[in-house]
Amino acid sequence: MAVLVTGGAGYIGSHTVQELRTMGYEVVVLDNLRQGHRAAIFDTPFYEGDISDQKLVLEICKQHSIDTVVHFAAHSLVGESVHEPLAYYEANVCKTRNLLETLVMAGIKRVVFSSTAAVYGEPTEIPIAEEHTTIPTNPYGDTKLAIEHMLSWCYQAYGLSSISLRYFNAAGAHHTLPIGEDHRPETHLIPLVILAALGKRDHLTVFGTDYETTDGTCVRDYIHVLDLATAHRLAVERLMTHRGAEIFNLGNGKGFTVKEVIDVVEKVTGRTVPVTYGDRRAGDPAELVASSTKARDMLGFIPIYSDLVNIVSSAVRWHQGHPNGYEEK
Ligand SMILES: NC(=O)c1ccc[n+]([C@@H]2O[C@H](COP(=O)([O-])OP(=O)(O)OC[C@H]3O[C@@H](n4cnc5c(N)ncnc54)[C@H](O)[C@@H]3O)[C@@H](O)[C@H]2O)c1
Ligand SMILES: O=c1ccn([C@@H]2O[C@H](COP(=O)(O)OP(=O)(O)O[C@H]3O[C@H](CO)[C@H](O)[C@H](O)[C@H]3O)[C@@H](O)[C@H]2O)c(=O)[nH]1
């Protein structure tokens, strides 16, 4: 069976491509390389192009007899989305709408979609279960929520089944292959703390110290990218036997403050992280921690790599081995 992975040359996409290929699936990647890296997918069949290019997507689906699409391609920075909301509605909602129309035209019946914990907004209960209210505090989360809604209606209208995976904070790197996190610019906490520890950046700025958390800094639930990759493969497999438009959280169930992340990076690297303290970043909720009970019970999802020391250690290995990230850009 053949799977089209949009955004497959990106961070989570490239790890998922490897998981799917290792498990015997035929995989094709479509990525416009806005953020992705050609080197991250090795010899996987690859098309450089945009998800909204209907002619190209139809051709790929036909040529490779695609029957499932795993859709990662998106703009995905919380802070940026607050300052450029229209770019986010265009990149995420409009382009996904075009992609879904193409998939319906191509007769595709299964989609796995990268949603996010950002759909919840400021939680009223921790850990957050899927039934929690969804009131995003930033345009990024709102675009992902709109896509979840579109997918639900597409199931009712066209029989296009979907699984939306609301992941919390992806981090870490592959244990054996030379792939890891390389966003340009990098805005995610764990790589930035590591780069500061390794002397590749002057310092790390902590965004906000006056949140109502144990030490005043934001709490997030960090999940190893390899656990996410496994979850995507499990979702692809569930769609073979289950119809509908389902939603699952993917987290590790434990929250860590920004200061705790810095402590772990200092322990793993044996170096001091130069830190400055700044204002809150627009759009950031104080605390996001998942309940992944539904994913465990219905998908069989059990995170095995997501201990924070393990996550940070794998990311440190990636950054030490690739001080400039992927070399091709
Ligand atoms: N990184 C996280 O912690 C996190 C958490 C929750 C959800 N997500 C979601 O997971 C997905 C992947 O995240 P990531 O961190 O791997 O991001 P990423 O930027 O590394 O990967 C996204 C990929 O999509 C490609 N792309 C973007 N727009 C495209 C388009 N119009 N056509 C073709 N390709 C396009 C980019 O070039 C990139 O390779 C995103 O949808 C993101 O919103 C990420
Ligand atoms: O230099 C930095 C960078 C981040 N942070 C803080 O660290 C925490 C984590 O920030 P990230 O930017 O690493 O991640 P986000 O929680 O903002 O967002 C990530 O997880 C979300 C889901 O929780 C989304 O899906 C999104 O795509 C993904 O980037 C936040 O409290 C942020 O304020 C800092 O203090 N300093």
| 295-307 pLDDT tens trace | 999 999 999 998 9
Query: Pocket of ligand 1, candidates 5, 76, 140: which has the most ligand atoms within 8 Å of its Cβ, to mutate?
Result: 76
More confident residue, 114 or 282: 114
- For residue 282, the model assigns a pLDDT of 87
- Active-site annotation, residues: 140
Q: Which residues are within 8 A (CB) of 129 and not within 5 positions of it... i.e. 6 or more apart?
A: 249, 291, 293, 294
**Nearest to residue 184, comparing CAs of 288, 325, 8?**
325
Could you report the per-residue pLDDT of 10-46, keeping only the tens digit for each? 999 999 999 999 999 999 999 999 999 999 999 999 9
Is residue 41 lining ligand 1, measured as CB closer than 6 Å? no
Give me the residue label for tokens 């010899």: 43
Give me the residue label for tokens 């001091």: 272
Could you report the per-residue pLDDT of 252-272, keeping only the tens digit for each? 999 999 999 999 999 999 999
Residues 245/155, Cβ–Cβ less than 8 Å: yes
Q: How much of the chain, in percent, has pLDDT values that exceed 70?
A: 100
**Cα–ligand 1 centroid distance for 270 (angstroms):** 32
Q: Is the pLDDT of residue 108 over 90?
A: yes
- Which tokens go with 123? 């939680």
**Cα–ligand 2 centroid distance for 119 (angstroms):** 14
- Which tokens go with 312? 């940070």
- For residue 288, the model assigns a pLDDT of 95
Q: Which residues surround ligand 2 with Cβ inside 6 Å?
A: 76, 78, 116-118, 168-169, 187-189, 192, 204-207, 218, 220, 258, 281, 284, 288
- Which tokens go with 244? 């509908």
- For residue 46, the model assigns a pLDDT of 98
Residues 225/17, Cβ–Cβ less than 8 Å: no
Cα 64 to chain center, whole Å?
25
Query: What ligand 1 atom has the least distance to the C-alpha of 13?
Result: 16
User: Taking each helix axis from N to C terminus, what angle separates 95-105 and 54-63, rounded to the nearest 10 degrees?
Assistant: 40
- For residue 306, the model assigns a pLDDT of 85
- For residue 114, the model assigns a pLDDT of 98
**Cα–ligand 2 centroid distance for 55 (angstroms):** 36
Q: Cα–Cα distance between 126 and 289 in angstroms, integer?
A: 6
Residue 143's H or E segment, with its range, is helix 139-158
Q: Please give the single-letter amino acid code of residue 98.
A: N
Q: Cα–Cα distance between 112 and 110 in angstroms, integer?
A: 7
